[in-house]
Chain A
Protein backbone atom coordinates (compact mmCIF):
# COMPACT_ATOMS: atom_id res chain seq x y z
CA UNK A 1 0.00 0.00 0.00
CA UNK A 2 1.94 2.99 -1.29
CA UNK A 3 -0.88 5.44 -0.63
CA UNK A 4 -2.59 7.95 -2.88
CA UNK A 5 -0.11 10.04 -4.86
CA UNK A 6 -0.83 13.48 -6.27
CA UNK A 7 1.30 15.53 -8.63
CA UNK A 8 2.36 18.22 -8.65
CA UNK A 9 2.26 19.18 -4.96
CA UNK A 10 2.25 22.86 -5.82
CA UNK A 11 1.24 24.72 -8.97
CA UNK A 12 1.56 28.45 -9.52
CA UNK A 13 0.08 29.83 -12.71
CA UNK A 14 -1.21 33.02 -14.22
CA UNK A 15 -4.90 33.72 -14.55
CA UNK A 16 -6.25 32.41 -17.82
CA UNK A 17 -3.82 29.52 -18.13
CA UNK A 18 -4.84 25.86 -18.17
CA UNK A 19 -3.61 23.46 -15.51
CA UNK A 20 -3.76 19.69 -15.13
CA UNK A 21 -3.33 17.65 -11.97
CA UNK A 22 -2.73 13.93 -11.68
CA UNK A 23 -3.84 11.44 -9.04
CA UNK A 24 -2.59 7.88 -8.68
CA UNK A 25 -4.90 5.96 -6.32
CA UNK A 26 -4.10 2.92 -4.24
CA UNK A 27 -3.78 0.22 -6.89
CA UNK A 28 -6.69 -2.05 -6.01
CA UNK A 29 -9.16 0.77 -5.28
CA UNK A 30 -11.98 1.06 -7.80
CA UNK A 31 -13.40 4.39 -6.62
CA UNK A 32 -11.60 7.69 -7.01
CA UNK A 33 -12.79 11.08 -5.74
CA UNK A 34 -11.78 14.70 -6.26
CA UNK A 35 -12.40 17.36 -3.60
CA UNK A 36 -11.47 21.02 -3.35
CA UNK A 37 -10.48 22.68 -0.09
CA UNK A 38 -10.09 26.41 0.48
CA UNK A 39 -8.32 27.94 3.47
CA UNK A 40 -10.12 27.37 6.74
CA UNK A 41 -12.82 25.20 5.19
CA UNK A 42 -13.50 21.50 4.90
CA UNK A 43 -13.10 19.67 1.59
CA UNK A 44 -15.95 20.01 -0.91
CA UNK A 45 -16.82 17.21 -3.31
CA UNK A 46 -16.17 17.79 -7.02
CA UNK A 47 -16.56 14.45 -8.81
CA UNK A 48 -15.97 10.73 -8.51
CA UNK A 49 -15.35 7.63 -10.57
CA UNK A 50 -15.95 3.95 -10.33
CA UNK A 51 -13.25 2.41 -12.49
CA UNK A 52 -13.33 4.57 -15.66
CA UNK A 53 -16.97 5.67 -15.31
CA UNK A 54 -17.63 9.16 -13.93
CA UNK A 55 -20.58 8.64 -11.57
CA UNK A 56 -21.35 12.13 -10.32
CA UNK A 57 -20.29 15.74 -10.76
CA UNK A 58 -20.94 18.49 -8.25
CA UNK A 59 -22.50 21.79 -9.24
CA UNK A 60 -19.14 23.23 -8.15
CA UNK A 61 -17.60 21.65 -11.22
CA UNK A 62 -18.12 24.34 -13.84
CA UNK A 63 -17.63 23.65 -17.53
CA UNK A 64 -14.04 24.88 -17.18
CA UNK A 65 -13.30 21.75 -15.13
CA UNK A 66 -12.94 18.29 -16.60
CA UNK A 67 -11.85 15.03 -15.02
CA UNK A 68 -10.94 11.72 -16.58
CA UNK A 69 -9.92 8.27 -15.48
CA UNK A 70 -9.23 6.68 -18.84
CA UNK A 71 -8.11 3.18 -17.84
CA UNK A 72 -9.66 3.01 -14.43
CA UNK A 73 -6.31 3.64 -12.74
CA UNK A 74 -4.89 7.19 -12.50
CA UNK A 75 -7.06 10.27 -12.94
CA UNK A 76 -6.48 13.80 -14.21
CA UNK A 77 -8.30 16.99 -13.30
CA UNK A 78 -7.97 19.85 -15.78
CA UNK A 79 -8.97 23.45 -15.20
CA UNK A 80 -9.19 25.64 -18.27
CA UNK A 81 -8.91 29.44 -18.26
CA UNK A 82 -8.07 29.56 -14.56
CA UNK A 83 -9.60 32.28 -12.38
CA UNK A 84 -8.53 33.74 -9.02
CA UNK A 85 -11.32 31.82 -7.33
CA UNK A 86 -9.79 28.52 -8.44
CA UNK A 87 -6.97 28.96 -5.92
CA UNK A 88 -7.36 26.06 -3.51
CA UNK A 89 -6.02 22.69 -2.45
CA UNK A 90 -7.25 19.93 -4.77
CA UNK A 91 -7.48 16.61 -2.95
CA UNK A 92 -7.82 13.15 -4.41
CA UNK A 93 -9.04 10.11 -2.51
CA UNK A 94 -9.64 6.47 -3.34
CA UNK A 95 -11.58 3.62 -1.77
CA UNK A 96 -13.01 0.17 -2.32
CA UNK A 97 -15.45 -2.31 -0.85
CA UNK A 98 -17.14 -0.10 1.74
CA UNK A 99 -13.78 0.90 3.24
CA UNK A 100 -12.99 4.52 4.23
CA UNK A 101 -11.51 6.89 1.71
CA UNK A 102 -7.74 7.32 1.65
CA UNK A 103 -6.55 10.81 0.76
CA UNK A 104 -3.47 12.07 -1.00
CA UNK A 105 -1.57 15.14 0.19
CA UNK A 106 -3.20 17.31 -2.45
CA UNK A 107 -2.11 19.79 -5.10
CA UNK A 108 -2.06 23.40 -3.96
CA UNK A 109 -3.01 25.72 -6.81
CA UNK A 110 -2.14 29.41 -6.65
CA UNK A 111 -3.42 31.77 -9.34
CA UNK A 112 -1.40 34.97 -9.84
Chain B
Protein backbone atom coordinates (compact mmCIF):
# COMPACT_ATOMS: atom_id res chain seq x y z
CA UNK B 1 0.00 0.00 0.00
CA UNK B 2 1.12 3.55 -0.57
CA UNK B 3 2.55 5.28 2.46
CA UNK B 4 2.17 8.86 1.45
CA UNK B 5 0.22 11.34 -0.52
CA UNK B 6 1.80 14.04 -2.62
CA UNK B 7 0.15 17.37 -3.08
CA UNK B 8 -0.60 18.69 -5.63
CA UNK B 9 -1.14 15.77 -8.01
CA UNK B 10 -0.13 18.01 -10.91
CA UNK B 11 1.62 21.37 -11.11
CA UNK B 12 2.27 23.59 -14.11
CA UNK B 13 4.61 26.58 -13.86
CA UNK B 14 6.63 28.93 -16.06
CA UNK B 15 10.37 28.51 -16.45
CA UNK B 16 12.20 30.46 -13.76
CA UNK B 17 9.44 30.09 -11.17
CA UNK B 18 9.78 28.00 -8.03
CA UNK B 19 7.93 24.70 -7.63
CA UNK B 20 6.82 23.36 -4.26
CA UNK B 21 5.57 19.82 -3.73
CA UNK B 22 4.33 18.37 -0.46
CA UNK B 23 4.27 14.84 0.87
CA UNK B 24 2.46 13.37 3.85
CA UNK B 25 3.07 9.93 5.30
CA UNK B 26 1.45 7.71 7.90
CA UNK B 27 4.01 5.93 10.08
CA UNK B 28 7.24 6.73 11.89
CA UNK B 29 10.21 6.68 9.55
CA UNK B 30 13.99 6.44 9.52
CA UNK B 31 14.35 8.71 6.49
CA UNK B 32 12.43 10.26 3.61
CA UNK B 33 13.73 10.47 0.06
CA UNK B 34 12.66 12.29 -3.08
CA UNK B 35 12.94 10.73 -6.52
CA UNK B 36 12.33 12.07 -10.04
CA UNK B 37 10.93 10.03 -12.90
CA UNK B 38 10.91 11.10 -16.52
CA UNK B 39 8.19 9.59 -18.68
CA UNK B 40 8.84 5.92 -19.40
CA UNK B 41 12.07 5.84 -17.44
CA UNK B 42 13.26 4.65 -14.05
CA UNK B 43 13.51 6.74 -10.91
CA UNK B 44 16.46 8.96 -10.14
CA UNK B 45 17.38 9.68 -6.52
CA UNK B 46 17.42 13.40 -5.68
CA UNK B 47 17.88 13.83 -1.96
CA UNK B 48 17.56 12.00 1.38
CA UNK B 49 16.61 13.58 4.70
CA UNK B 50 16.87 11.65 7.95
CA UNK B 51 14.24 11.73 10.67
CA UNK B 52 16.49 13.82 12.94
CA UNK B 53 17.02 16.48 10.25
CA UNK B 54 14.66 19.35 9.50
CA UNK B 55 16.05 20.83 6.30
CA UNK B 56 18.48 19.85 3.58
CA UNK B 57 19.75 21.54 0.42
CA UNK B 58 21.23 20.18 -2.78
CA UNK B 59 21.82 22.61 -5.62
CA UNK B 60 18.42 24.07 -6.57
CA UNK B 61 16.60 21.63 -4.27
CA UNK B 62 15.47 22.32 -0.73
CA UNK B 63 13.75 19.65 1.34
CA UNK B 64 12.08 20.08 4.71
CA UNK B 65 10.82 17.42 7.09
CA UNK B 66 8.33 17.83 9.93
CA UNK B 67 8.07 14.54 11.78
CA UNK B 68 5.43 15.88 14.17
CA UNK B 69 3.12 16.49 11.21
CA UNK B 70 4.47 13.53 9.23
CA UNK B 71 5.06 15.76 6.23
CA UNK B 72 7.82 16.89 3.89
CA UNK B 73 8.16 19.45 1.14
CA UNK B 74 10.40 19.67 -1.91
CA UNK B 75 11.19 23.09 -3.32
CA UNK B 76 12.80 23.43 -6.75
CA UNK B 77 14.05 26.96 -7.31
CA UNK B 78 14.48 28.70 -10.68
CA UNK B 79 12.83 25.83 -12.52
CA UNK B 80 13.87 24.77 -16.02
CA UNK B 81 12.03 22.95 -18.78
CA UNK B 82 14.29 19.96 -18.06
CA UNK B 83 12.75 19.71 -14.57
CA UNK B 84 9.51 18.49 -16.18
CA UNK B 85 8.94 15.06 -14.63
CA UNK B 86 7.03 13.22 -11.92
CA UNK B 87 8.37 13.61 -8.40
CA UNK B 88 7.85 10.98 -5.70
CA UNK B 89 8.52 10.96 -2.03
CA UNK B 90 9.53 7.63 -0.52
CA UNK B 91 9.90 6.65 3.10
CA UNK B 92 12.20 4.10 4.65
CA UNK B 93 10.80 2.87 7.92
CA UNK B 94 13.93 1.09 9.12
CA UNK B 95 17.57 1.95 8.49
CA UNK B 96 19.80 -0.21 6.37
CA UNK B 97 18.59 -0.32 2.79
CA UNK B 98 15.11 -1.64 3.49
CA UNK B 99 12.33 -1.37 0.88
CA UNK B 100 10.91 2.04 0.12
CA UNK B 101 7.26 3.02 0.41
CA UNK B 102 6.33 5.55 -2.28
CA UNK B 103 3.62 8.14 -2.58
CA UNK B 104 1.55 8.67 -5.71
CA UNK B 105 3.70 11.49 -7.04
CA UNK B 106 3.36 15.02 -8.36
CA UNK B 107 3.52 15.62 -12.11
CA UNK B 108 5.46 18.83 -12.71
CA UNK B 109 5.32 20.63 -16.05
CA UNK B 110 7.70 23.54 -16.58
CA UNK B 111 6.74 25.65 -19.55
CA UNK B 112 9.50 27.45 -21.43
The residues of A with any CB-CB pair to B shorter than 8 Å are 4, 31, 33, 35, 40-45, 48, 56, 91, 93, 95-106, 108
CB distance from A26 to the nearest CB of B (A): 13
In the complex, besides A45-B99, A100-B33, 8 extra interface pairs with C-beta distance below 8 angstroms are A31-B97, A42-B2, A44-B1, A45-B101, A91-B42, A93-B43, A97-B97, A105-B40
B48 touches which one: A93, A100, A104 (CB < 8 A)?
A100
- Say yes or no: A43-B102 contact (C-beta < 8 A), given A95-B97, A98-B97: yes
Residues in A neighbouring B1, C-beta threshold 8 A? 44
In the bound assembly, the distance between CA atoms of A42 and B42 in angstroms comes to 11
CB distance from B89 to the nearest CB of A (A): 8
A100 touches which one: B45, B88, B104 (CB < 8 A)?
B45
A and B contact pairs by CB, cutoff 8 A, 8 listed: A40-B104, A42-B105, A43-B100, A44-B2, A91-B42, A96-B97, A100-B33, A105-B42
CB distance from B14 to the nearest CB of A (A): 25
Count of interface residues, chain B, beta-carbon cutoff 8 Å: 23
B81 at the interface (CB under 8 A from A): no
Whether A44 contacts B104 by the Cβ 8 Å rule is: no
B44 at the interface (CB under 8 A from A): yes
Whether B100 contacts A45 by the Cβ 8 Å rule is: yes
In the bound assembly, the distance between CA atoms of A106 and B88 in angstroms comes to 16
Give the residue among B1, B90, B96, B97 with the most A Cβ atoms within 10 A. Answer: B97
Whether B42 contacts A106 by the Cβ 8 Å rule is: yes
CB distance from A5 to the nearest CB of B (A): 10
Closest B residue, CB atoms, query A108:
B40
B41 at the interface (CB under 8 A from A): yes
Closest B residue, CB atoms, query A50:
B97
Residues in B neighbouring A48, C-beta threshold 8 A? 99
- Say yes or no: A42-B99 contact (C-beta < 8 A), given A103-B44, A104-B42: no
